[in-house]
Structure 1
Amino acid sequence: MSQTAQIPSHRKPRRAASSTRALRAGVTGGFLTLAVAGAAAPALAAEPSAAESTLEMPTLGSTLASSAAQSADATQQAAADYQLQAQQDQAAAKAKATAKKAKAEADRKAQEAKEAARKAAARRAAQEKAERASRTAERTSLSTASSNTTSAPSTATKATGNAATLINFLKAQVGKAYVLGSSGPSSYDCSGLTQSAFNQIGISLPRVSQDQSNQGTAVSLDNLQPGDLLYWGARGNAYHVGVYIGGGKFIGAQNPSTGIVERDLSYDPPSGAVRLL
């Protein structure tokens, strides 16, 4: 055994590697840096006596900045959505107001048209009433005149010359049929009969009643002469014609039921007369 083997050692025991360490901290490039310094363990005697280890982690400022950016984006998007909705609401309100105004205008025009139609109908009714009253008055006057003529015939009512030829032709047609649009010789309508009769004495008349009533010279129903053309309705717009033959009588193609007949003026008083002879 060595002589030194039993000599106790006077060296102080070494501290544990973890006994003393210093903590240093710093921020570098947005990361937190931790440095640990202390006495090296015996096994690390060859390493530097002060060792540093760095631990990197995101800083709180970076996280807050990211959150703030997201919040700003959300706020901006919400503002844009709100503005778009406001524009849509404004456009809808404007369209609604325009439609309401257009409807009101259409209703106003419809009401005006309705009122105009009502007034026009009232005017037509009043005019027709006045015309009926006028025709009634004329017929009453004519009826009175016819009665006077019948009771006291005048020599002026006796047909001569062309008037006699005209009346003789008309009397020869009495009893024949009334056919609308016919001009003889076996049947006639009212204007077809008068046209054919006046053709016998060389007087050419238009084919229809309206035009025939506009020929010649208008005469009073109180001053009729044989051969005068009688008309019913307004002159130039007559709906029926016949011929006065004297003695308060006329001949005409009345209708399909009666055919061509000779009647007193009181049977169907005419509206007026024209003289063609």
Structure 2
Amino acid sequence: MSPNALIPSHRKPRRSASSRALRAGVTGGFLTLAVTGATVPANAAEKPVSETQEMPTITAALATSATKSADTAQQVAFSYERQALQDATEAKADKAADKAKAAADKKAKAEAEAKKAADEARRAKEAAQARASRSDARSTLSDVSGGSSSSSSSSSSSATGSAATLVSFLKAQLGKAYVMGSNGPASYDCSGLTQAAFSQIGIDLPRVSQSQSTAGTQVGLGNLQVGDILYWGSAGSAYHVAVYVGNGNFIGAQNPSTGIVERPLNYDMPTGAVRVL
């Protein structure tokens, strides 16, 4: 046995030493670590573990992505802002339109009410004038129709020439039917009868009552002569006509119920008269 066999060795045991390096990098946005080791001889001088660390770096792709995300967010915010402004503008326009419509409706209503009031005032005035005219006519016609029958009789009997022909034709039509729009010979309406009567003496009258009421010279009801055209309603807008035949009477196509009749003036006092003879 070797004399040194039991003598313990003073050499340090062999051991594997490794130096490690710590590396860091960015992969897909995550921090990755890699540890590498190298075996060194046991008798090599031990070195402290060297560690290196690299901070994450922003790649061009990541920067571009961030920029695009910021632009998208800005565009979305701008779209919301623009839509809000558009909605506010439309709401304001709708409100203004509603206000304008309400004002227009109010104005139209006021105008309609004013027109209605004016029409009522005009009708009231015409009615008052008609009543006044009839009142005057009643007072003056008392001499024609009642108080001076001899004078009235002479008025009828003294009708000669055209007036006599006119009265003769009208009396021949008594009892015939009243038909709206008819001008003879079997039936007439009021203006159709007067037109046909005056055509017998060569006078061409307009066809309708409104025009006949202004066809001649306006005369007072207290100064009537045989052949004067009587009208009911305002001159130019009369709704009925007949012919004065003397003795305080008139002949006219009254209505479908009575037909053509002779009536005293006080049966239905006319509004006015025109003279064409």
Aligned residue runs from structure 1 range 228-267, under 5 A: 228-267=228-267
Residues 1:112 and 2:114 aligned together: no
For the residues of structure 1 that align with 2:249 and 2:51, how far apart are their CA atoms?
A: 137
Return closer, same or farther for 1:91/1:16 CA change in 2, 3 Å cut-off: farther
Q: Deviations over 1:196-228 (max 9, x none)?
A: 211221212222222222212221212110111
Residues 1:62 and 2:64 aligned together: no
Return closer, same or farther for 1:183/1:73 CA change in 2, 3 Å cut-off: closer
Aligned residue runs from structure 1 range 151-162, under 5 A: 151-153=147-149, 154=151, 155=154, 158-162=158-162
For the residues of structure 2 that align with 1:28 and 1:58, how far apart are their CA atoms?
A: 6
Match of 2:124 in 1: 129
Aligned residue pairs total: 262
Match of 1:6 in 2: 2
Contact 2:22 2:53 (8 Å CA) reproduced: no
The letter of the residue matching 2:56 is: S
How far off its partner does 1:129 sit? 1.3
Contact 2:205 2:212 (8 Å CA) reproduced: yes
The letter of the residue matching 2:133 is: E
Match of 1:46 in 2: none
For the residues of structure 2 that align with 1:188 and 1:29, how far apart are their CA atoms?
A: 118
Q: Deviations over 1:167-217 (max 9, x none)?
A: 121112112211222222222111111112112212122222222222122
Secondary structure at 1:257 match in 2 = coil
Match of 1:194 in 2: 194
Return closer, same or farther for 1:134/1:29 CA change in 2, 3 Å cut-off: closer
* RMSD, matched Cα: 3.7
Contact 2:217 2:274 (8 Å CA) reproduced: yes
Q: Deviations over 1:219-239 (max 9, x none)?
A: 121211011111112222221
Q: Deviations over 1:47-100 (max 9, x none)?
A: xx5899x999974x217999x968887666555444432332222112111111
Gaps of 5+ in 1: 42-48
For the residues of structure 1 that align with 2:52 and 2:233, how far apart are their CA atoms?
A: 116
Q: TM-score, normalised by structure 2?
A: 0.79
Larger Rg: 1
The letter of the residue matching 2:14 is: A
Match of 2:89 in 1: 94
How far off its partner does 1:22 sit? 7.5
Return closer, same or farther for 1:136/1:22 CA change in 2, 3 Å cut-off: same
Deviates more, 1:81-90 or 1:100-109: 81-90
Match of 1:15 in 2: 12
For the residues of structure 1 that align with 2:163 and 2:250, how far apart are their CA atoms?
A: 13
Match of 2:185 in 1: 185
Q: TM-score, normalised by structure 1?
A: 0.79
Secondary structure at 1:237 match in 2 = coil
How far off its partner does 1:249 sit? 1.0
Return closer, same or farther for 1:57/1:233 CA change in 2, 3 Å cut-off: farther
